Amino acid sequence: MNVFIVYAHPSEDSFTRHVKESFIRGLEDAGHSYLISDLYQMNFKTDMSEAEYLRESNYRDDLPVPMDVKLEQVKINGCDAIVFVYPVFWTEAPAKLVGWFDRVWTYGFAYGNNRTMKQLAKGLVLCVAGNTLEKLIEMGHYESMKTVMLGDRLSDRVTSKEMIVLERMSKEYAEEREGNWDKHLETAYQAAYSL
């Protein structure tokens, strides 16, 4: 399987970075090929220009999309699975990734009557949270995260989709972070291996 990883974390000094690396090891061991967009490292522009906004809001798929957006779309259409790896920030993905969706999910590509985005076999969201999953469920945050990422953004663009929350990794709870570390990296590895 050809896998496209969209990775968004502002620091190398993070658990999410290890998740990405473990996931890649799993892909390699399973014989999958992959490519990655490391959005912070690429300095991917995530604020929409006025021209982009006008193209979207007026449903003008005859107008061009910027080259950096086009490149991401080419990567998507060259893969069978798309995987998002990021830390949960305010119940969402980091703004860097939210902006990636704003710009890359364009009219005529990701939505509209004649969309050109390939139907992908798999979509996986692998996110790291500070809270426990139990707490995220209790507060309704888990449902929101799934609704936005799986229900809206992935939607019917992928055939099979899943969200995995690697819980309780806040530095505020150092002992639990340490205790969950290896288990979560194994989960990331297995998720890649069994794609």
Of the listed pieces 31-39, 72-80, 88-96, 106-114, which binds ligand FMN according to CB under 6 A?
A: 88-96
Q: Of 130, 163, 164, 193, which one interacts with ligand FMN (CB under 6 A)?
A: 130
**Using the rule CB under 6 A, which residue among 7, 89, 100, 105 binds ligand FMN?**
89
Q: Binding of ligand FMN at residue 69 (CB under 6 A)?
A: no
| Interaction between residue 144 and ligand FMN (CB under 6 A) | no
Task: Establish if 170 lies at the interface with ligand FMN (CB under 6 A).
Answer: yes
Residue 90 or 175 with smaller CB distance to ligand FMN: 90
Q: How far is CA 157 from CA 9, 26, 122, in A?
A: 24, 24, 9
Which residues are CB-contacts of 41 (< 8 A; sequence separation ≥ 6)? none
Residue 57: C-alpha distances to residues 47, 106, 144 (Å): 15, 10, 25
Burial of 84 (0-12, 13-18, 19+ CB in 10 A): buried
Question: What is the contact surface with ligand FMN in residues (CB under 6 A)?
Answer: 9, 14-16, 87-91, 128-131, 169-170
